[in-house]
Amino acid sequence: MPLPITQTPLQPQSPYLVSTEMLDFESPAIQALIAEQKWRSLKPFDAIGAVYDYVRDQMAFGYNKSDTLKASNVLKDGYGQCNTKGTLLMALLRALGIECRLHGFTIFNALQKGAIPNYLFVLAPKRIIHSWVEVKLNGQWLNLEGYIIDQAYLTQVQATFAGQCQSFSGYGIATPCLAAPNVHWQGQSTYIQKEGIADDFGVYEQPDQFYEAHGTNLSGLKRWLFAYGLRHLMNMNVKRIRQGKVLKSH
C-alpha cells in the first residue's frame, strides 16, 4: 500500500518582502530596470550597494508631487526626496528578495533652507514628515538615509562651504561633517539628514501604513499649490544649486 503523500506547508511570506500599492515592484518599468542593471546576479551586499547608488545618484534630489507616489511613478519622475526616493529604494530591494522596512520621523524645516528659496520658506511646516529605509543584512537592520542627496548636488554645496567638518544644516543636509558625510554604502548605516530629526515615529512594515497614520506634509490649498506650482520653483532652485549657483548667504 503506497504511503500517503505529505506536503510541506507553505511558509508565510515575510511582511518585509511583500508588494503594496506604493511598493509596486511588479510594475513593468521596475522589472525592466532590474533586468537592465543585472542586479539579480549580485549577492545581497553588492545588490544593496548597487540599488542604493542608483537611487542616490541616478534619481536626482528634487520635490515630487506627493510623498505617497507609487515607486513606479517616482522612477518615472527621475527625481525625489527622502520619502519618495525611499519608496523606490524599498521597492527595488524587495524585488530582489532583500527585506526592508520604513522608519518614520519628522525633521526641523531649518535643514531645508537654501534648497527651498527664502520667498517660499514661510510656507514650509515647522516639522516636515521624513523617513529612511532600514535594510536587513546578515540578520542585522541597518539604517539607510544617505541616498537622499545626489552626489552632483552634494559636491556643489561642499564646494561652496569648503572645509567645513562641523555641524552643518541647510540645503537638504544635516550632518556633523559636510566635508565627509556618511553617505557611501560600506555595509553600515548611512545618514545625510539625521542631525535634523525632531520626532521619531518608529518602524513600519510598509510605507502605506506610515502615511495612513501620519499623513503628508501639506493639506488643503497649500497641498494643491505645492503640487501644481510651488514645487516647480523649488526644483528650479535645486537645479541651479546642482549647476554650482549656491547662495552662500544661508
Residue 175 to residue 158: CA distance in whole angstroms: 12
Query: Inter-axis angle of helices 44-53 and 82-95, to 10 degrees?
Result: 150
Per residue in 103-161, pLDDT (tens digit) is: 999 999 999 999 988 888 877 889 999 999 999 999 999 999 999 999 999 999 999 98
Cα distance between residue 142 and residue 180, in whole Å: 20
- C-alpha distances out from residue 217 to 68, 87, 143, 188, Å: 11, 16, 22, 29
Q: Of 7-11, 65-69, 130-134, which gets the smallest average pLDDT?
A: 7-11
Q: Tell me: the pLDDT tens digits for 193-245?
A: 999 999 999 999 999 999 999 987 766 666 667 666 788 999 999 999 999 87
Q: Where are the domains of the chain?
A: 28-242
Contact 22, 212 (CB under 8 A): no
CATH of domain 28-242: 3.10.620
